[in-house]
Amino acid sequence: MNAVIKVGGKQHYVTEGQEIYVEKINCNVGDVVTFDQVLMLDKKIGNPYLTGVTVQGEVLKNGKNKKIKVFKYKSKDRSNRVTQGHRQPYTKIKITKIG
């Protein structure tokens, strides 16, 4: 079964057994999380969500992504060269059940 779920303002296309990275969720490793905002299941499309359909997953890891560099630059203005870094927290989830 395939489904499209909404997590943290983003949509994820998932299947059973797949591991996905989502924005940080307040839960511990080993917890079972349930997503009830299912937008699509196989070929059924919700308006905006399907009722009575949930997707369950197991939390595998909480962590931070690799650091990305944010570089701000204005041409012909040498005083505003700024380099910043950012690490986005994430949660790794394994989808166990769709139904």
Per-residue pLDDT 10s for the chain (99 aa) are 999 999 999 999 999 999 999 999 999 999 999 999 999 999 999 999 999 999 999 999 999 999 988 887 778 776 667 778 899 999 999 999 999
- In a domain, residue 81? The reply is no
Q: What is the pTM of this model?
A: 0.82
Element containing residue 50 per DSSP (H, E) = none
The SS3 assignment for 53 reads coil
Look at residue 78 and give its three-state secondary structure: helix
Q: Residue 94 falls within a domain, yes or no?
A: yes
In this structure, the dihedral spanned by the alpha carbons of residues 12, 18, 23 and 28, taken in order and rounded to 10 degrees, is: 140
Range of the domain at 30: 2-62+88-98
If one counts the domains in the chain, the total is 1
Note whether residue 72 is domain-resident: no
Instruction: Tell whether 76 is covered by a domain.
Output: no
21/93 Cα distance (integer angstroms)? 6
